[in-house]
A = this chain, B = another copy of it.
C-alpha cells in the first residue's frame, strides 16, 4: 500500500484526535497532521465533516472518515499490517466495542458533569456516579495488563480519556478521582499504558495539557460561555 495519501484533521490537545494518531502509529502508517482551529473552523473541516464539524477527520486518498471510534475500526480494516486494534474472535470484538462505547457514552459525560456541577450537593452526586462507572472499568481489568489483554487494543486507545484527560479535567476543579487505594488496577493500567513507547511519543505531557485547559477555561469564563 504505497502512494497513499493519509491526512488527519486534528487538534493537539484533543483526546479523540490522539486516538487516531496512536492507531496510525501502531500500524506504521505515515500521515500528515493538519492542525485545526475549532474557534475558526477551516473550509476543509466543514467540507469533510459537514454533519458534526468536529475533529478528528481522517482523509485517506481524499475520502473522509469521521468519529474516532469509527476511524479506529477503519484503520484496523484497511491496514492489515502491524498489530491488530480489534481482536479476531467476534465475541471478543463485541466486548471491545462495548467497553469503548462505555468510555465515550458513560465515563466522559460523567466527568463533564463533575466539572460543570453547581454547588456541593450536585458535585457529590456527580462524583459518586463517576466513581461507580470507574469501578465497573476497574473490574474489567481483573487479571489483565491492558483492556486488550497483553497488548493494547481498541479499549485502551479509547481509554486515552481515562489515562490522561480525566485527571487533567478534574484537576481544574481541584478533584482527584483515580487513587491507588480505590482503583489499584486502573492506576497500574494508566502507568503501563502511558509508558508504552508509541503512547509516550504521541500524547501531550500532562503539564502542557493542563496549561492548555487552564487557558481555555479562562477564555470561556472571560467570554461568559
| Chain A contacts to B: CB under 8 angstroms | 51, 60, 63, 65-67, 70-71, 73-74, 77-78, 90-91, 93-95, 97-98, 101-102, 136
Are A74 and B94 also in contact (CB < 8 A) when A67-B101, A101-B67 are?
yes
Identity of the chain B residue whose Cβ is nearest the Cβ of A102 in the assembled complex? B51
Distance in angstroms between the alpha carbons of A94 and B75 in the assembled complex? 10
Kindly name the residue among A51, A77, A78, A95 whose own CB sees the greatest number of chain B CB atoms within 10 A: A51
Q: A73 and B94: CB pair below 8 A? A: yes
Sample 28 A-B pairs with CB under 8 A, ordered by A number: A51-B98, A51-B102, A51-B136, A60-B91, A63-B91, A65-B91, A65-B94, A65-B95, A65-B98, A66-B98, A67-B97, A67-B98, A67-B101, A70-B94, A70-B97, A70-B98, A70-B101, A71-B94, A73-B93, A73-B94, A73-B97, A74-B90, A74-B91, A74-B93, A74-B94, A77-B90, A77-B93, A78-B90
Contacts of A91 in B (CB 8 A): 60, 63, 65, 74
Contacts of A60 in B (CB 8 A): 91
Identity of the chain B residue whose Cβ is nearest the Cβ of A67 in the assembled complex? B98
Contacts of A136 in B (CB 8 A): 51
Kindly name the residue among A60, A77, A94 whose own CB sees the greatest number of chain B CB atoms within 10 A: A94
Distance in angstroms between the alpha carbons of A68 and B47 in the assembled complex? 31
State how many angstroms separate the Cβ of A51 from the closest Cβ of chain B.
Answer: 6
Identity of the chain B residue whose Cβ is nearest the Cβ of A79 in the assembled complex? B90
Distance in angstroms between the alpha carbons of A161 and B71 in the assembled complex? 25
Q: Known contacts A51-B136, A63-B91; can you find 20 more A-B pairs with CB under 8 A?
A: A51-B98, A51-B102, A60-B91, A65-B95, A65-B98, A66-B98, A67-B97, A67-B101, A70-B94, A70-B97, A70-B98, A71-B94, A73-B93, A73-B94, A74-B90, A74-B91, A74-B93, A74-B94, A77-B90, A78-B90
Distance in angstroms between the alpha carbons of A73 and B136 in the assembled complex? 24
State how many angstroms separate the Cβ of A203 from the closest Cβ of chain B.
Answer: 24
Distance in angstroms between the alpha carbons of A10 and B51 in the assembled complex? 32
Sorted nearest first, the 7 A-B pairs with minimum C-beta distance are: A77-B90, A74-B94, A65-B94, A70-B97, A78-B90, A70-B94, A63-B91
